[in-house]
Chains A and B, each alone.
Chain A
Amino acid sequence: MQRVAQAMGDHAVRARSEAIAFVVMAVALIIAPMFAYPVFLMKALCFALFACAFNLLIGYVGLLSFGHALFFGWASYVGAHAAKVWGFPPELAILSGTATGAGLGAIVGALAIRRQGIYFAMITLALAQMMYFFAIQAPFTHGEDGIQAVPRGKLFGFIDLANQTNMYVTVLIIFLGCFLLIYRIINSPFGEVLKAIRENEPRAVSLGYRTERYKLVAFVLSATFAGVAGATKALVFQLASLTDVDWPMSGEVILMTLVGGLGTLFGPVVGAFFMVTLENYLTTIGQWVFVVQGVIFVVCVLLFRRGIIGELAQILRVKL
């Protein structure tokens, strides 16, 4: 009884620290446009959502996908194509990108979960590379040029997204909504099963869970959120290009999550802002960006595996 009571107490404390952190984050993001360029913030928010989607898989199911650029990039292509060629309004353009992410996630997930661990990473990477070659060959992606001058359009027919403030508020609402949804998924009974699979898959199987189905659903969810991020980014930058589907993008989202803290709620957000800020300062040094990213990878893996938020949570003795 006492142990149960204590567990409940822990849970309440954790929920409180998470709620406080969420309010701090939301307030910071609402007042942020007074201090930073909206386009920069929107870029960081899109990547933050992308990293949260990726973290849902690595942090809570223990599956390392090395091909998440596939969902991000193809969602941004389809979103951009829908808005530009089919003349879809922005909400439908983002939805079609999201559906692309979900559909591709179902196919790739069904193949990749047939193998575990390290093979899972290699399969997702290989399938992402295959879709990268399709993106080069498919005529609608316009190869090296990408889909340019994508119209932002009017949200629900009356909110003009060409206005930077309107666009920022829209991106912020999408981000916070998806963040809360991911939080809900992680803390649902379904999320508890995912964590059980992460900790000990054979035991979860022996308890009667069909772990493959859980893993597939988690994979599709992660790909779907990556799709939201990709389609939103296409509208923000009015561009969908090969950079978004290529493997360095998959590497980048891993790095953001790693820097922020694998398996932490707020880590991917902090990691994404950290990396986007860093790259903003590093644009002048050209190819050295890759070297800097590589060094951060090595340092994080060797010395700093908990990431920024993981270390912070350790110091404050709370769950974040």
Chain B
Amino acid sequence: MFELLGISSQALFGQLLIGLINGSFYALLSLGLAVIFGMLNIINFTHGAQYMLGAFTAYFLLRYAGLGYWWAIIIAPIVVGITGIIIERLFLQWLYKLDHLYGLLLTFGLALIFEGTFRNFFGSSGLPYSVPPTLQGGQNLGFMFLPNYRAWVVAFSLAVCLSTWFVIERTKLGSYLRAATENPTLVRAFGINVPRMITLTYGFGVALAALAGVMAAPIYNVSPQMGANLIIVVFAVVVIGGMGSIMGAIVTGFGLGIIEGLTKVFFPEASNTVIFIIMAIVLLIRPAGLFGRAT
């Protein structure tokens, strides 16, 4: 253990780790938002609620079916992804020809419905969800104590983000996706079922949010409003990064998480607002966002 500017290494690296974990969630969520926006031209305001639904699915699986964390991390994204597909077929598909704003308003309404319903049944207090037995305990690295579960969250979300990037940027499926984002009519003319691709993209983006929710459950507890405040921060992350680039979303997400963690150590009063302040500065210097293209 050592000290730096009067702050113990445990506190510094502890906050850095929390920053990295928040960053993983920012990255996973803004990645999902970017993928959905690319295909559907809709900003998915329900994303925060779907993150919350992922955490609640994990909670229900444990409580009513006795299925633990490892089942939940597979089942919850699939279940929530399927509800996403239903939402896309029932509601979103009618909006593609309208102004983008209607998509935002509709998904905002859906978020209110989900969050209101859960708050009605589960109140505002969080429900505990314990760390899976295989990941309990931690490592003493000398300068800090690293809980196994937190290391897993960072590593696994990084892996998920990078594989998503790989699929979209380096595979044939991804090239269809990128082509359909650019010019759906032409891609349809080549015989590719674009409407189905759009539906599946929405399901996938939503599943990413649910996956983040399952991973967050042991850290932040499961509560109905866990997604509401997070989604606003993620919007700021998206504005900073710009939605044009997948890698941009990942880098911005992790980077801002770390900055937020450091702010908590050195200037705790600003830790809630630092991301918004960075957003304002980025808007002044580079209005299109760090990785965005000018429109």
B109 x A295 contact (CB < 8 A)? yes
A288 contacts the other chain (CB 8 A): yes
A195 contacts the other chain (CB 8 A): no
The listed residue (A112, A118, A287) touching B43 by CB distance below 8 A is A118
Residues of A within 8 A of B287 (CB): 114-115
Q: 1/0 per position for A13-33, CB-CB distance to B under 8 A?
A: 000000000000000000000
Instruction: Give Cα A137–Cα B273 distance, bound, in whole angstroms.
Output: 11
Residues of B within 8 A of A114 (CB): 283-284, 287
Residues of A within 8 A of B113 (CB): 290-291, 294-295, 298
| A-B residue pair count with CB separations less than 8 angstroms | 118
Instruction: Give Cα A42–Cα B91 distance, bound, in whole angstroms.
Output: 37
B236 x A290 contact (CB < 8 A)? no
A126 x B235 contact (CB < 8 A)? yes
Instruction: For residue A133, give the distance in angstroms from its CB to the closest CB of chain B.
Output: 4
B102 x A294 contact (CB < 8 A)? no
B235 x A125 contact (CB < 8 A)? yes
Instruction: Give Cα A137–Cα B238 distance, bound, in whole angstroms.
Output: 26
Instruction: Give Cα A89–Cα B181 distance, bound, in whole angstroms.
Output: 58
Instruction: For residue B60, give the distance in angstroms from its CB to the closest CB of chain A.
Output: 19
Residues of B within 8 A of A290 (CB): 112-113, 115-116, 119
Residues of A within 8 A of B108 (CB): 251, 254, 294, 297
Stretch from B6-14, B183-191, B274-282 at the A interface: B274-282
Instruction: Give Cα A293–Cα B280 distance, bound, in whole angstroms.
Output: 31
Given contacts A111-B283, A115-B239, contact A294 B112 (CB under 8 A): yes
Instruction: Give Cα A114–Cα B292 distance, bound, in whole angstroms.
Output: 13
Instruction: For residue B230, give the distance in angstroms from its CB to the closest CB of chain A.
Output: 11
Q: Is the interface of B mostly helix, strand, loop or mixed?
A: helix
B109 x A305 contact (CB < 8 A)? no
Residues of B within 8 A of A122 (CB): 43, 235-236, 238-239
The listed residue (A116, A129, A247, A296) touching B109 by CB distance below 8 A is A296
Identify which of A64, A294, A297 gathers the most chain B CB atoms within 10 Å of its CB.
A294
Residues of A within 8 A of B101 (CB): 58, 64, 117-118, 121
Q: 1/0 per position for B108-138, CB-CB distance to A under 8 A?
A: 1111111111011000000000000000000
A130 contacts the other chain (CB 8 A): yes
Instruction: Give Cα A112–Cα B282 distance, bound, in whole angstroms.
Output: 12
The listed residue (B43, B109, B112, B276) touching A121 by CB distance below 8 A is B43
Given contacts A118-B101, A288-B120, A301-B105, contact A127 B280 (CB under 8 A): yes
Residues 78-102 of B contacting A (Cβ, < 8 Å): 91, 94-95, 98, 100-102
A258 contacts the other chain (CB 8 A): yes
B155 contacts the other chain (CB 8 A): no
Residues 279-320 of A contacting B (Cβ, < 8 Å): 286-291, 293-298, 300-302, 305
Could you list which residues of chain A lie within 8 angstroms of chain B, going by C-beta atoms?
58, 64, 66, 111-112, 114-119, 121-123, 125-127, 129-130, 133-134, 137, 247, 251, 254, 258, 286-291, 293-298, 300-302, 305
Q: List 26 A-B contacts (CB under 8 A).
A: A111-B283, A114-B284, A115-B283, A115-B288, A121-B101, A122-B43, A123-B279, A123-B283, A125-B232, A127-B276, A127-B279, A129-B232, A251-B112, A287-B120, A289-B116, A291-B112, A293-B112, A294-B108, A294-B110, A294-B116, A296-B109, A297-B105, A297-B106, A298-B91, A298-B109, A301-B102
